Amino acid sequence: MGKSEITALDEVTLHLPDSGIVIISGPSGAGKSTLIRSISGLELPSKGSIYVEGVDITRLGAYELAWFRRKKFGFKPQDPKLIPQLTILENVALPLLFNYVPRKCALEAAMELLQDVGLGERIMHKPDEVSGGEYERASLAQTIIGSPPIVILDEPTAHLDPENSRKIAELVKAKQKETGSLYIVTTLEDTIIREADLRIYINKGRIEV
């Protein structure tokens, strides 16, 4: 039997603001994750263009795209994986270290951010030594450290109870306001949807108004 072709996104045209909180919602399998992975350059479309700050990322080579993503994006997948051998502090500092920030400065920035997200007493713990809600907040901190212009969060409250979902929603709102970055969030969680400046609904690979 031959392989069948699946269209994950179908003739999507989307213009996003430079700042604010954009919520992408829709049923399971609608294309939400594919859309944000395309926006961030993790998956490139078979046809069409994706412009980020005037740059068509579909035309970049592998090295250029990796460099561009590292400078412009913070991306938190639905099931983030912190490195188990490192402390929470070291995990959060990693994006800065990858961008050649001196280790001392990176750790100081990570410590300040972890205090902001309520994890100041967990900095020397390993990922398996913190609760699920604390793990998600640490992953969020790792994503937003350095204030990337575009922050993408895939279902950041998917596995959390209402109280921890509320904490994540408050952090997203506070950090977006503080930095002025564009936050793109896929979610069906009302606590985050209420914070949206723009809401996009996607179904069967198409944007619905």
Mean pLDDT of residues grouped by 10 in the chain (209 residues)?
Answer: 49 86 88 89 87 92 93 92 96 94 97 93 96 92 95 89 88 93 91 88 79
The rounded distance, in Å, linking the Cα atoms of 162 and 177 is 23
Does residue 10 lie within any of the structural domains? no
The rounded distance, in Å, linking the Cα atoms of 43 and 41 is 5
Judge whether 60 and 78 are in contact, CB under 8 Å: no
Domain around 56:
20-208
The amino acid occupying position 51 is Y
Domain count, the chain: 1
Does residue 30 lie within any of the structural domains? yes
The rounded distance, in Å, linking the Cα atoms of 20 and 197 is 6
Judge whether 92 and 138 are in contact, CB under 8 Å: yes
Tokens of 95: 């994006």
- Report how far apart, in Å, the C-alpha atoms of 208 and of each of 39, 109, 155, 183 are: 18, 40, 20, 20
Does residue 7 lie within any of the structural domains? no
The amino acid occupying position 97 is L
Q: What is the CATH number of the domain that holds 105?
A: 3.40.50.300
Judge whether 171 and 137 are in contact, CB under 8 Å: yes
Does residue 196 lie within any of the structural domains? yes
What is residue 122's predicted lDDT score, i.e. its pLDDT?
A: 95
Does residue 8 lie within any of the structural domains? no
* Separate counts of helices (H) and strands (E) for the chain: 7, 8
What is residue 5's predicted lDDT score, i.e. its pLDDT?
A: 46
Does residue 12 lie within any of the structural domains? no
What is residue 157's predicted lDDT score, i.e. its pLDDT?
A: 87
Does residue 4 lie within any of the structural domains? no
The amino acid occupying position 11 is E
Judge whether 49 and 16 are in contact, CB under 8 Å: no
The rounded distance, in Å, linking the Cα atoms of 128 and 31 is 31
Judge whether 95 and 74 are in contact, CB under 8 Å: yes
> What SS3 state is found at 136?
helix
